[in-house]
C-alpha cells in the first residue's frame, strides 16, 4: 500500500530534523517523513527550494501532508502550493492547520495505518484539540 | 545601472496615458522602467537594510532588512543577465526570485505581490496608470489573501492599500505616470507612518500585543521605500 508522506517545515534545520527523528519512530520506518528546515546555508529561515524538494521526496503516490512551525514557514508553503505550475508536476500536497509536534505525531500515526491524505490531514488538525493536562 | 537607464530611454517611446499634454515622454510602466526600478531597489534596500532590521528587531525577529537585501540582490543579478520583454514578465520573474531567496515572510508576501501584479499586466508592453492601478490591485489582493491581513493590522497592507487607492485616483484624474507613482509613494509613506500607534494583529509582532504599539511596522516601511524608489525611477 502507498502511504501518505509527511513534510516538516521549520525555520530551524535542527527543529525539523529533531521532530522528524521523533515521529519516524512512530511510523515504523514505513511513512516517508522529510524535514525541510532552515535556509540552504543552514541558517534560520524557510527555503522554498528545500520545501519543494522535500515534497517530491516524501511522495510515494498517495500525496503529502505538510506541517509548519511559524508564520513565514506557512506562507512559504502556501506560496508553493498556490503556484502549482511553478515546479512541473508537484505531487498532490496539502498544508495542515495544526500544532507542529502533536500534529506531526497524529499525521504519521494515521499515515502508517494507511489513512489517505484527507484522513491524515484531519488527524493532524484534530491534534489542536488535545489537552496536555 | 548605467546599462539599465540607457535601455529606459530606448524603451519609452510611445504615449501611455490619455491626458498627457505636458508629459510628452510618458511611456507608462514598461519593462525598462520595471528593471530600472527593481535594480535601484536592490541598492536602496542594501542601503536601508539596517534601518529595516532595527524596526523589525523592535517588534519581530530582526531579519527584515537582511532578508530583503539578499532577495533583491538576487533579483538585480537575474535582471543583469537579461530583462524580459514585458513589464509583466519582469515582475513575475522578480516575484519568483524573491520567493525562492528571501527566507522570511517577506519573500512569499512581496513575491506574491509582484507575481500577481505581473500576471495581471498580461502581455502589455507598456501599462498606463489605469492598467497599472488595476494590476497592482490584483497584487495587493494576493498579499491580503496569503497573509490574511486587512488595513489596520499593522502590516505592509497598511502601506499598500493607500498606495493602490492613490494610483486609482490618479488614473481617474488622468495624472501622468511619474506623478501618479509619486502620489502612490506618498500615500504609502503616510500609511507606513500611521502604523506606528497600531497594535499588531498579524505576523510575529502580534505575539507582543500592546507592546507592538509605538513602532513603525517594518513591512509597511519597506513597502514605502520600494514605492519611493519606483517613483524616483519614473521621474
Q: Say how many domains are in chain B.
A: 1
pLDDT at B113: 97
Say if the Cβ atoms of B105 and A75 lie within 8 Å.
yes
pLDDT tens per residue across span B50-104: 999 999 999 888 889 999 999 999 999 999 999 999 999 999 999 999 998 998 8
Residue A11 is among the residues annotated as catalytic for this protein: yes
At residue B23, the pLDDT reads: 43
B107:A49 CB<8 A: no
At B110, give phi and psi (nearest 5°).
Answer: -65, -35
Domain regions of chain A by residue span: 5-129
Q: Residue B198 belongs to what domain range?
A: 26-234
In a domain, B5, yes or no: no
Closest CA to A67 of A92, A38, A102: A102
Is the ipTM, as predicted for this complex, more than 0.95? no
d(CA A114, CA A102): 19
pLDDT number for residue B37: 98
**pLDDT (tens digit, 9 = 90+) per residue, A85-111?**
455 578 999 999 999 999 999 999 999
CB burial of residue B157 (10 Å; 0-12, 13-18, 19+):
buried
* B residues 186-205 lying closer than 8 A (beta carbon) to A: 203-204
Of all residues in chain A, the percent with pLDDT exceeding 70 is 95
Backbone region of residue B174 per phi and psi (left: phi > 0; alpha: psi in -120 to 50; beta: other values) = left
List the CATH code of the domain at A5-129.
3.40.50.510
CATH number at residue B202: 1.25.40.340
Average pLDDT over residues B29-33: 97
pLDDT attached to residue A111: 96
Of B63, B67, B108, the CB nearest to A75: B108
Nearest in space to B46 (alpha carbons), one of B21, B75, B3: B75
Whole-angstrom distance, CA of residue B233 vs CA of residue B8: 10
Please indicate if any CB of chain A lies within 8 Å of the CB of B67.
yes
Q: What is the mean pLDDT of residues A49-74?
A: 94
Q: Which of B95, B108, B218 has the highest number of chain A CBs within 10 A, making it the mutation to test binding with A?
A: B108
Q: What is the pLDDT of residue B25?
A: 66
Confidence (pLDDT) at A12 = 95
Is B75 strand, coil or helix? helix
Positive or negative CA dihedral for B9, B12, B15, B21?
negative
Contact present, B184 and B166 (Cβ < 8 Å): yes
Report the chain A residue with the minimal C-alpha distance to residue B205: A71
Please report the pLDDT score of residue B14 as a whole number.
41
Q: Are strands A33-37 and A5-10 parallel, antiparallel or unpaired?
A: parallel
> Among A86-90, B30-34, B213-217, which stretch is predicted with the lowest mean pLDDT?
A86-90
Residue of A11, A47, A112, A123 with catalytic role: A11
Binned at pLDDT 50, 70 and 90, residue B203 comes out as confident
B105 contacts chain A (CB < 8 A)? yes
Size of interface A-B (CB pairs under 8 A): 45
Nearest to residue B63, comparing CAs of A79, A72, A100, A9? A72
| Packed helices A100-112 and A117-126: angle between N→C axes, nearest 10 degrees | 140
**pLDDT at B207 (0 to 100):** 86
Q: Do B112 and A82 touch (CB under 8 A)?
A: yes
Cross-strand bridge partners of residue A94: A65
CB contact under 8 A, B103 and A46: yes
The pLDDT assigned to A132 comes to 85
Among B104, B203, B204, whose Cβ lies nearest the Cβ of A45? B104
Instruction: Report the mean per-residue pLDDT for chain A.
Output: 91
Nearest alpha carbon to residue A68 among A92, A48, A40, A43: A48
The pLDDT of residue A27 is 80
- List, for residues A4-20, the tens digit of each pLDDT value: 999 999 999 999 999 99
pLDDT confidence of residue A42: 85
Q: Write down the pLDDT at residue B213.
A: 92
Q: Which three cell numbers stand for residue B30?
A: 514598461
Give the pLDDT mean for A38-64.
92
The A-side interface with B (CB below 8 A) comprises 39, 43-49, 70-72, 75-76, 78-79, 82, 86
Amino acid at each position: 500500500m502507498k502511504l501518505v508522506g509527511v513534510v516538516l517545515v521549520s525555520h530551524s534545520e535542527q527543529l525539523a530534523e529533531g521532530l522528524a527523528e521523533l515521529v519516524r519512530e512512530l511510523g515504523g520506518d514505513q511513512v516517508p517523513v522529510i524535514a525541510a528546515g532552515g535556509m540552504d546555508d543552514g541558517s534560520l529561515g524557510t527555503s522554498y527550494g528545500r520545501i519543494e524538494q522535500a515534497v517530491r521526496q516524501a511522495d510515494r503516490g498517495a500525496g503529502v501532508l505538510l506541517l509548519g512551525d511559524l508564520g513565514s514557514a506557512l506562507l512559504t508553503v502556501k506560496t508553493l502550493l498556490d503556484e502549482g505550475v511553478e515546479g512541473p508536476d508537484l505531487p498532490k500536497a496539502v498544508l495542515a492547520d495544526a500544532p507542529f509536534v502533536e500534529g506531526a505525531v497524529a499525521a504519521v500515526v494515521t499515515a502508517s495505518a494507511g489513512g489517505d491524505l484527507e484522513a491524515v490531514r484531519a488527524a493532524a488538525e484534530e491534534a489542536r484539540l488535545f489537552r496536555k493536562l | 545601472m548605467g546599462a539599465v537607464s540607457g535601455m529606459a530611454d530606448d524603451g519609452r517611446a510611445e504615449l501611455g496615458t490619455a491626458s498627457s499634454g505636458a508629459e510628452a515622454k510618458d511611456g507608462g510602466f514598461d519593462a525598462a522602467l520595471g528593471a530600472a526600478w527593481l535594480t535601484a531597489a536592490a541598492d536602496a534596500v542594501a542601503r536601508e537594510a539596517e534601518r529595516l532590521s532595527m524596526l523589525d528587531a523592535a517588534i519581530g525577529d530582526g531579519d527584515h532588512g537582511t532578508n530583503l537585501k539578499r532577495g533583491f540582490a538576487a533579483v538585480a543579478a537575474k535582471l543583469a543577465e537579461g530583462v524580459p520583454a514585458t513589464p509583466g514578465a519582469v515582475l513575475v520573474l522578480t516575484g519568483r526570485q524573491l520567493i525562492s531567496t528571501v527566507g522570511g515572510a517577506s519573500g512569499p508576501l512581496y513575491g506574491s505581490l509582484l507575481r500577481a501584479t505581473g500576471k495581471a499586466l498580461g502581455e502589455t508592453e507598456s501599462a498606463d496608470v489605469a492598467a497599472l492601478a488595476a494590476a497592482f490591485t490584483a497584487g495587493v489582493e494576493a498579499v491580503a489573501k496569503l497573509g490574511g491581513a486587512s488595513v489596520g493590522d499593522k502590516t505592509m497592507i497598511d502601506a499598500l492599500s493607500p498606495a493602490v487607492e492613490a494610483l486609482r485616483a490618479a488614473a481617474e484624474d488622468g495624472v501622468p505616470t511619474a506623478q501618479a507613482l509619486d502620489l502612490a509613494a506618498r500615500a504609502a509613506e503616510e500609511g507606513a507612518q500611521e502604523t506606528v500607534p497600531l497594535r499588531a494583529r498579524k505576523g510575529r509582532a502580534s505575539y507582543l500585543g500592546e507592546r507592538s504599539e509605538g513602532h513603525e511596522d517594518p513591512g509597511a516601511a519597506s513597502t514605502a521605500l520600494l514605492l519611493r524608489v519606483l517613483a524616483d525611477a519614473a521621474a
